[in-house]
Amino acid sequence: MSIFDKIFNKAANAATNAANNAASNLGNKKEVFTFTALPENLAELQALPEAKLDSPFKTAALTVVALCVYAADKNIGIEMLNFLKGPRPLSNMEIQFIDDRLRDGKTYVPFSYFKGATPENDYTPDTPYSVTVESNVYSEANQGYMKLLIRSGGADTPREVQLRMKGDGQWLLWEQFLLPDIRKPKSADPWA
């Protein structure tokens, strides 16, 4: 045994530990997107820098924006979501599903993903509008797809948005799971 073995073993262990730490942090990423105002038509959405769709995080953030617009104006929301979905527009079943989830005054649900929106303030987000999109170690489990997470002020666990990469490098909306029930806003909760 050489007198240098302890030094080399320490260096090798340190390198292995650093590599393991880097690998475990690789999937855990957060990106925050801020909008001074929400777009009111497709042209305004397409004018946003995120509309390049060159990152799955950008497309996920715009999905929240488009769902908020859908809650205010269904036709404009459909246009925006179809833009985000690219060559695979919303099906009639997807439109019916969104309609169902926003029925009975639940138009607050998509706004719950913005910073500051909580049941206590009836899901009124802070302005400018800010949404945080996260990845984890399972986000890239399937090649060409990305599952990202967005936290709602009315839920205990984050919700998923699945994106798919198009051949030209654009990330398009594949599926969204952002509209399940959340805690009722204070004004609608008879127990509050």
What are 60's two structure tokens? 């996920």
**Could you tell me which residues come within 8 angstroms of residue 137 by beta carbon, excluding any fewer than 6 positions away?**
24, 26, 27, 28
Residue (of 33, 84, 34) closest to 59 by Cα position = 84
pLDDT tens for 124-163 read 999 999 999 999 999 999 999 999 999 999 999 999 999 9
pLDDT tens for 176-187 read 999 999 999 999
Helix (H, G, I), strand (E, B) or coil at 48: coil
Structure pTM? 0.86
Domain ranges of the chain: 27-184
CA 163 to chain centre: 10
User: Which stretches of the chain are DSSP H helices?
Assistant: 5-26, 42-46, 56-72, 74-85, 92-102
pLDDT tens for 49-83 read 999 999 999 999 999 999 999 999 999 999 999 99
H or E stretch including 142? none
